[in-house]
């Protein structure tokens, strides 16, 4: 069943909303069984939604109040892309860094391919280097 561009955009908005609310079962239902994620920071090598859900849970353990805020969102055919910002407060271990209680704000982009009303593939890049700098874990570059 093909979906419209409007339905595809709403699917991606729903995914972000459910992920922000940490509704992992609902997020899982939005992905195909053979879902693939291309994201250097997620550490996901296997297909299917479960490895991504586990990575999302680890992120929420480190940043319990984290949210993705969608800026621009565009779609064409079966692709929906957005730029946005992730915010959150560092309350749990993250990449070997103990909680700093610092708030981070990092920019990112994601592009989702939709098939039959579910997300089948994602390409994402989030600037976690900026996040590590905001946490004081690495120095800011010198100009």
Closest by CA to 8, choosing from 110, 77, 82, 85, is 77
pLDDT, average across residues 21-28:
97
C-alpha to C-alpha distance for 66 and 100, rounded to whole angstroms: 15
Closest by CA to 66, choosing from 93, 86, 94, is 86
What is the value of pTM for the model shown?
Answer: 0.92
Q: What local confidence, expressed as pLDDT, does residue 40 receive? A: 85
User: Domain 5-134 falls in which CATH fold?
Assistant: Nuclear Transport Factor 2; Chain: A, (3.10.450)
Q: β-strand 118-126 against 31-38: which pairing, if any? A: parallel
Q: Which residue has the higher pLDDT, 123 or 141?
A: 123
Q: What local confidence, expressed as pLDDT, does residue 49 receive? A: 95
């Amino acid at each position: 069943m093909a979906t419209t561009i409007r339905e595809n955009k709403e699917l991606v908005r729903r995914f972000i909303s459910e992920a922000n609310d940490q509704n992992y079962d609902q997020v899982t239902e939005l992905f195909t069984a053979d879902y693939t994620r291309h994201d250097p920071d997620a550490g996901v090598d296997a297909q299917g939604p479960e490895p991504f859900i586990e990575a999302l849970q680890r992120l929420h353990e480190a940043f319990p109040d984290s949210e993705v805020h969608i800026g621009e969102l565009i779609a064409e055919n079966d692709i929906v892309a957005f730029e946005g910002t992730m915010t959150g407060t560092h309350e749990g271990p993250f990449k070997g860094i103990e909680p700093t209680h610092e708030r981070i704000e990092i920019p990112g982009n994601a592009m989702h391919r939709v098939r039959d009303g579910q997300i089948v593939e994602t390409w994402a890049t989030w600037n976690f280097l900026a996040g590590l700098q905001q946490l004081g874990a690495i120095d800011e570059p010198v100009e």
